[in-house]
Structure 1
């Protein structure tokens, strides 16, 4: 009696292997693109940049003032020059963070859909009224991606006329700051010196027109202005 032949394993379809291989390749390309973008941001941000050493010294000096209404500030510990963020002004003209070289700047990212952002804007407006000038400016960048008129109307209706209007409808400024670990949510604010170096960062709102905030910011602005 002839023994039956054992069942032979069915060959794996070639088509399936090609699909799997294609998925692996696509994943590799996406991963490479993400890593390349992160590397680009890290290089642009220039961590350890020696030109930012004075910002670290200043951060250490004013750290005791980070209390009360600005206790949430994280003081810079490692020299970090921010990416040259690009956005537009109220007339649609392109602006870059480097346009403020020589001035201490409080960069703030906000949106009308962000409730804490909306609540924080009057304090930022008052801060600009109190300290705004040749040595300091609040640069509040709106990142609404849809109705471009909505944030303008919000500022107008709220009488927030001391803040210059800046916008980035692509929200790339948020992604750029997120790429270097400086934007974890909304609102986000980064205090930088006249060389574009980080002094301190805060995730979330703050009472920027409070006595605590004004005292800290005055201490940050005077040394920075004196160095230029």
Structure 2
């Protein structure tokens, strides 16, 4: 199976187990889903530091202006990269908190990379309809970034330091205005200084 097709199959399987579900599961169901996901080789929800120090992949994406670009072009300050899709319920729920985070400014560059396979104009229209402006949105219809990062669950968010090295990744939905996110994002400040 070629990589994009394999990745789509893995993302759909992972979505059924660990994410992209619009219904709220109880804590017990969440624990069972994480155990089931782990048994299937799908990352559980939460922080993963096993890729620390890995460089930003050189995947070709479409930047917000519609031009080809790579995330490495954004080195110079910490970068929070969120992989999402319009069809992913947890992604949609999480996006407003990422918009709010991006509007705070500071030493953190927040971007969202759409994994939607359709035209960029469709994604842009969807964002406008949902009033989710103010977030730097890149487009990756071939899912090349997700493939390079071995991301199997959407949403997934990766923090890179100012030199383009991974600090951590978060699998699954997170309220980026909540206390767990604040603790994680404090590491972005440390990454900016280090």
What is the TM-score of this pair, normalised by structure 2? 0.70
Deviations 1:156-203 (A, max 9, x none): 12221110121012111111111xxxx121111111111111111111
Matched, 1:194 2:162: yes
Match of residue 103, structure 2, among 126, 129, 133: 129
SS in structure 2 at match of 1:73 = strand
The yes-or-no answer on 1:166 pairing with 2:123 is no
Cα displacement (A) at 1:224: 2.5
SS in 1 for 2:83: strand
Please give the per-residue CA displacement for 1:141-168, whole angstroms capped at 9, x wherever unaligned.
1111124322212211222111012101
Alignment of 1:9-88 (within 5 A): 72-76=46-50, 78-88=52-62
TM-score by length of 1: 0.60
Query: Could you say what secondary structure the match of 2:113 adopts?
Result: strand
What value does the CA root-mean-square deviation take over the aligned residues?
A: 2.2
Residue equivalent to 2:174: 206
Equivalence for 2:13: none
Structure of greater relative contact order (alpha carbons < 8 Å, 6+ residues apart): 2
Shift, 1:216, TM fit: 3.0
Conservation of the 8 A alpha-carbon contact between 2:52 and 2:168: no
Name the structure 2 match of 1:100.
74
Q: Which residue of 1 aligns with 2:124?
A: 152
- Report which of the two structures shows the higher radius of gyration computed on alpha carbons: 1
| Alpha-carbon distance change, 160 to 82 in structure 1, aligned in 2, over 3 angstroms | same
Q: Which has the higher helix share?
A: 1
Alignment match, 1:91: 65
**Equivalent pair of 1:190/1:201 in contact (CA under 8 Å):** yes
3-state DSSP of counterpart to 2:46:
coil
